[in-house]
Amino acid sequence: MRFTKMHGLGNDYIYVDASKEKVADPAGLARAISHRHYGVGSDGLILILPSDRADVRMRMFNADGSEGEMCGNGVRCVAKYAFDHGLSKSNPMRVETGRGVLSLQLEVHAGKVQRATVDMDEPMFGMQAVGAVQGAMGRNALFKKETEAAYALAYEVGGHHLEAHLVSMGNPHAVFFTDNVDAIDLLTHGPKLETYAGFPGRINVHFAQVVSPGHIKMRTWERGSGVTLACGTGACAVVAAAVLAKKSARRVKVTLPGGDLEIHWDETGNHVFMTGPAVEIFSGDWPA
């Protein structure tokens, strides 16, 4: 089976052109091929398929084999693969995802896509948007604050109760603002929050530090993949939460461990736009 490894800011996935390669068990393949020691090594698997609604369609599977609705860094790489490998020369390009058809404006140099701006559609907020269940929280209940779009969550880091900003970008995110994002122990708090009782479908976890109105630093624990160097949908969710909480401007540079994304939550159309790179690393053959 032919595959290509690509990344957006170090958020790496294995990409397979499923119009040419047959993938009978994508969940099993994701677990095997993503393994950092016994496989190729990646944050997951993304299949590129034909679409009757768009130029191409993507399905993404996390490293644990679970299927996700969307991947912001992944969708940029899907568009790059499709353009560079001749599946589509559309620009803008339309990619069908689990949250619908998204449009991408491609930056092309010497015939290859270098960066892309994705129209990520509108953010959605609140417990229902992320599939949170109030009764399942028990004593750790989430409750709506009166003053801002946040939920108080009885979860402590360093003796401080955190406030969970719940945002959906087609997939669920919990955003926690902190004064020092580098001090957060992601390996301890990420898996606890991902599998919190009130999130039966699990959730992506982000800790964010507002450096200035136009600059945010963040770190991520991704549902099904663990610590990743970047999360595109997460960066969009962080900016949307920061704007709603009056912590940032609508046009923000988001710094992740893997690099920077440009996020713009457009006030007129209410859509979030994400701009970032897409990089092809290498191709190879995986024994079926």
Residue 248 and residue 34: Cα distance in Å, rounded?
36
Q: Answer yes or no: 71 catalytic.
A: yes
- Helices within the chain (DSSP H only): 26-34, 72-84, 127-130, 186-194, 232-244
Instruction: Kindly name the residue from 54, 231, 274, 278 that is annotated as catalytic.
Output: 231
Out of 71, 150, 230, 263, the active site residue is 71
The answer to whether residues 177 and 149 touch, using CB atoms and an 8 Å cutoff, is no
What the block records as the tokens of 121 is 């559609």
| Token duo for residue 216 | 């945010």
Helix (H, G, I), strand (E, B) or coil at 13: strand
Residues 44, 84: Cα–Cα separation, whole Å:
21
Tell how far CA 75 is from the center of its chain.
Answer: 10
Token reading at 82: 């499709």
Q: Which residues are annotated as catalytic?
A: 71, 231
